[in-house]
Amino acid sequence: MTGEHLTTLSTRALADGIRTGEFSSEEVVAAHLARIDALNPAVNAVVSLQPDAALAEARACDRELAAGRIRGPLHGVPTAVKDLMDVAGMPTSHGSRIYAGQVASADSVIVGRMREAGAVFVGKTNTPEFGAGSHTFNDVFGATRNPYDLDRSAGGSSGGAAAAVTSGMLPFADASDLGGSIRNPASFGNLVGLRPTAGRVASARPGNAWDPGSVLGVVTRDVRDTALLLSIISGPEKRAPLSVDEDPAQFLTIRPRSFAGTRIAYSPDLGGLPLEPQVRAATAAAAARLADLGADVVEVDLDLSEADLVFETFRSLEFFDGHGDDARRHPDLVKKTVRDDVSWAEAFDAALIVRAAAARTRLFRRFQALLGEHALLLAPAVQVLPFPVEWEYPTEIDGVAMERYYTWQRSCSRITATAMPAMSLPAAFSAEGLPIGVQLVGPYRGERAMLEYALTWEAAVADVAARRPAL
C-alpha cells in the first residue's frame, strides 16, 4: 500500500490495519509526515511539528505490538493537537507571542485520553490567538488556508485541525467550540464536526468550570470516526463538575437511524439571520432531502431573541477571566478583538449578568421542549462561504453590517447559548467549489441518536462527503 493511499484512510481503517499487521505504525506516521511536508507549506495547518519524536514513538508502538501489547483503539495512529491544549513536551503557544514556544509539562485531560488510547502526536494544529474568532491566523505562525481554495479561510478557531484533516495531513484532530469553533471550520472543510453537550468531553482547564459555553470535541472525515473518537475522549472527570457520567462505549455501537416518520424542526435562518444566498439555498435543499428520506420536516419560528445576550455576555466573561491579565500586561502583544472582549466584560454590572443567566435557563428549557417534540433541529451551520484569507472577519452578510468580530457566526453562537449538542455535516458545494455544511441540533446529552441520524444523512450525501480537495 502506498504512503499516499494511507493518508486517505479513515482513523478506523488505520487502527485496524496497524493492529492486524497490514501496515506498521511507522509506515502510517511516515506517510502522514510526508503529506505534511508536501502540503503544509501552502496550507499552514500543522505547527510545532516534531517528526523525529513521532517516528520514534511509532517504532515503539510497532515493537509493543510485536510483543503482543496494544495500547488502545488508536494504537500507532498519528494526530496533532489544537494549540490551545497541552501536550507534555510540546509548545502550547495559544497563537500568542506572549506564550510562543512555551513547553507544556503535562498532558491536558483530552490529550491524556488520546495518548492512553495509543495516539502518536506529530505536532500541534494552528489556531487564532487565544482561539478568538472563526478565522485562523496569528502573529506566531500566520494564517491557515482552506485546502479547497488556498485564497480562502479555513475557518476557526479549529481551522488548523480542519484543514489538516480535510487535506489528509491527519486522519482526525481534536477541536474546541465556544461560538462555532468546531462547526464553522467543519463546514468550511466538508467535514463532520461535533460540538458535544458540555461535560461530555471533560476538561480540567482553569476558569469557570460551571460554564457550559466552551466544549471539546473532534473533526473527522466521517461519522463513524467521530463516534470512535467520542468513545475515547468522553467520560467523567472529578475536576469537571459538569462532566457526564455515562459509558463512552455507547458510541461504538451506533447504527443508521431512519428518518421515516421522524419529526424534524427546520429553521431556515435561526431567528432572521442574514445568509449568503448559496448558504440559504443549500440549507433549504437539505430540508427537502430530509423530507425525501421520509422525515416530517416542520418549519419552526424559533424565539432566539435572548440568545445573543447570553452568548456575548458569557463569552466576554470567559475572555476577561482567561486573558484579562494578558491584555492588561501586554496590550501591544494582544490583538484588538481579544482586548475588546475583555473591555466589554469590564463594563458589565451584576444586573446584566443575572439577566443573561436567567435568559440562558429559559433558552435551555425552550429548546429541551422543542427537541422533546422533534428528534432534531435542522439549521444553517454557517452564514457565509469561506471568505478571503486576508480578511480578519466578514463585515457584512447579504447587505447587513456585522456589529462585532464574531457576529457573522451567530448561526453557531445562538445554538451555543441553548447548551444543546450540535453537529456540522457536509451538505453541498457552492458554484465556486466551496463546501457548505448544515447543522443538526439534538437534545441535551443526545449525542448517540444524533450520530445515528448523521450516519443516515451521510449515506444520502455520499457524493458530497467524499469530495476532497485536489491539492
Question: Active-site residues: which are they?
Answer: 82, 157, 181
Q: Cβ of 53: how many Cβ atoms within 10 Å?
A: 15
Residue 326, C-alpha cell as written in the block: 494578558
Q: How far is CA 162 from CA 77, 165, 183, in A?
A: 17, 5, 10
Residue that has been written with the C-alpha cell 463538575 in this structure: 241
Amino acid at 254: I
Burial of 401 (0-12, 13-18, 19+ CB in 10 A): exposed
Burial of 445 (0-12, 13-18, 19+ CB in 10 A): middle
Contact 187, 179 (CB under 8 A): no
Nearest to 115 by CA among 148, 145, 76, 157: 76
Contact 287, 266 (CB under 8 A): yes
Nearest to 436 by CA among 328, 281, 297: 281
Instruction: DSSP for 349-389, please give it.
Output: -HHHHHHHHHHHHHHHHHHHHHHHHSSEEEEES-SSPPPBT
Nearest to 278 by CA among 385, 191, 410, 186: 385
Cα separation, 461 vs 288, in Å, equals: 13
Q: How far is CA 382 from CA 52, 206, 278, 302, 439, in A?
A: 38, 30, 11, 17, 8
Task: Decide the pairing of beta strands 435-441 and 422-429.
Answer: antiparallel
Cα separation, 17 vs 206, in Å, equals: 39
Residue 210, C-alpha cell as written in the block: 460551571
Cα separation, 113 vs 116, in Å, equals: 5
Cα separation, 244 vs 234, in Å, equals: 8
φ/ψ of 70, rounded to 5, equals: -125, 130
Side-chain half-sphere CA neighbours of 19 within 13 A = 15
